[in-house]
Amino acid sequence: MKLAIIVPYRDRRDDLDVFIPHMEKFLANKQIDYKIFVAEQSDDRAFNYGKICNAVFNEIKDDYDYFCFHDVDLLPLNDDADYSYKDTPTHLVFENENKEKILPYSQYFGGVVIFSKDDFIKVNGFGNDYWGKGYIDLDLLYRCLKSKITLTKNYDYEVKEILKSDLKYRNITKKVSKIVLPENSIIVNRNSNVIAADFTLSFHYKEVRQNRNKIVIFRTLDVDDFQIFTINGQMILQFFDKGELFQIDINNEIDIMQFNHFTFTHDYNKKEFIIYINGVEKFNINYTINYNFTKKNVILGDIDNSVKIELVDFKLFTKKLTKNEVNRNFYYGVKSNCFEFNKLTFYDNLTTFIDEHLNIWEIMGKTTSDKENLIIGEMSIVDVLNKQLNKVKYTPNKIKGRYEIRGKKFADIEKTYHPDIMENKKTYYDDLLTNKINISKFGLKSVKYTLLNKIEHNNNTEWLKISL
């Protein structure tokens, strides 16, 4: 098995002069048939790690069986830094020369990474859209996950630092209302016109205990008008117009006993509902009848509920959110054009309250003397997302390689506000995670470059100069 070590490079001659002899010495007795390819970006554009790697791979792929993408400032020190062939993509960097764990987050997938030729082609290589620093490694991990490459599963419920820092960066309030609707209680909005022609509903939802009866989450006040409810573990959107029924059955793969985030967007002119689950579009359905959702009083819960339900960060937008807005709302929160319950003021013996938009709400049915039975304080949206996103957390396959690190490295990109990082952050969250970037088309297959020069440095090293 022949190994190609690809080293993306620009203006790091001091590091390179140390790296090449160190690697030659380290691999001398490892019985590995290898060659180092120095991949120099020779243009005036910002450095693009992914495009450089993709370009060199295309140039040499026919002659090698597996590939190591290697930073020039990382020097392997122990035998656990194993450069032999791997059946699955593997991350080699684990600790520094002082035996300290050094990676900023568990999903880090950069520095030194080994791929077989087939797996790298399968994931369509690196993303080409990351200029400068940041997010290229998370893009690669996402490509592995979407391509069904074997990764490491973690069930650790660790709080996502990426979400914490994003919330802080975007100046979004971390605390949101957690509404618990007691048995046989109902909340009615006395005001009208809270639903626009185009609208969006979003909320985190779970049922407190198992129940197979119909549980109404949200509906208009008109009987059998518009409603979202669960029954037999399945969520359903339904409305009637002049006796004609329209219904969307959300599939059974959703566990309503766990927090999931639901978004329902409505386009009045297109007569279209789009349903997103945990930020991902799942249903796009058009109806044919003429239905006007405006001028409707709305209800959370229902008088017939026989089980408690939890709504976290409930929002009713007076517009249709775009895919990017839906994704941002799921991760960070979106506050414009919406009614929400982040600020609640009770009066009248805890049976009536107002929200921050001065909408008047009233508790109907079985009343409660205990405010906590209705509203349980505030809840961190980070904690909610942590529960749902990290039930299974995928991280790279790792071995415990020890490396000398030359210079400052492994900064926490979520706490770094360099313009390049901020732009790459937008690309990752707003384009990649919302499926705007089709990884099967954009990556290795679409890379464009010009090979300027190829120089044999010695028997073990070749230098390629590339313009992007």
**Segments making up each domain of the chain, as ranges:** 2-155+393-467, 175-389
CATH class of 175-389: mainly beta
pLDDT of residue 308: 67
pLDDT of residue 386: 46
**Parallel, antiparallel, or unpaired for β 2-9 and 33-41?**
parallel
pLDDT of residue 156: 40
pLDDT of residue 102: 80
Three-state SS sequence of the chain:
CEEEEEEEECCCHHHHHHHHHHHHHHCCCCCCEEEEEEEEECCCCCCCHHHHHHHHHHHHHHHCCEEEEECCCEEECCCCCCCCCCCCCEEEEEEECCCCECCCCCCCCCCEEEEEHHHHHHCCCCCCCCCCCCCHHHHHHHHHHHCCCCCEEECCCCCCHHHHHHHHHCCCCCEEEEEEECCCEEEEECCCCCCCCCEEEEEEEEECCCCCCCEEEEEECCCCCEEEEEECCEEEEEEEECCEEEEEECCCCCCCCCCEEEEEEEECCCCEEEEEECCEEEEEEECCCCCCCCCCCEEEECCCCCCCEEEEEEEEECCCCCHHHHHHHHHCCCCCCEEECCCCEEECCCCEEECCCCCEEEEEECCCCCHHHCEEEEEEHHHHHHHHHCCCEEECEEEEEEEEECCCCCCCHHHCCCHHHHHHHHHHHHHHCCCCCCCCCCCHHHCCCEEEEEEEEECCEEEEEEEC
pLDDT of residue 457: 82
pLDDT of residue 287: 84
Read off the pLDDT of residues 271-315 as tens digits, 9 standing for 90 and up: 899 999 888 888 888 888 777 777 677 777 765 555 667 777 778
pLDDT of residue 207: 78
pLDDT of residue 209: 64
pLDDT of residue 468: 94
Q: Full-prediction pTM beyond 0.85?
A: no
pLDDT of residue 163: 40
pLDDT of residue 13: 93
pLDDT of residue 297: 72
pLDDT of residue 450: 96
pLDDT of residue 80: 94
- Residues constituting the chain: 468
| 2-155+393-467: CATH number | 3.90.550.10
Read off the pLDDT of residues 149-163 as tens digits, 9 standing for 90 and up: 989 876 443 334 434
pLDDT of residue 353: 60
pLDDT of residue 375: 44
Give average pLDDT by consecutive 10-residue segment, the chain, 468 residues.
96 94 94 96 95 97 97 95 95 91 84 97 96 92 93 55 39 48 56 74 78 77 76 83 79 73 92 88 83 73 64 82 85 70 53 60 52 43 46 82 85 67 86 90 96 90 96
pLDDT of residue 115: 98
pLDDT of residue 179: 63
CA angle 339, 293, 229 (to 5 degrees): 75
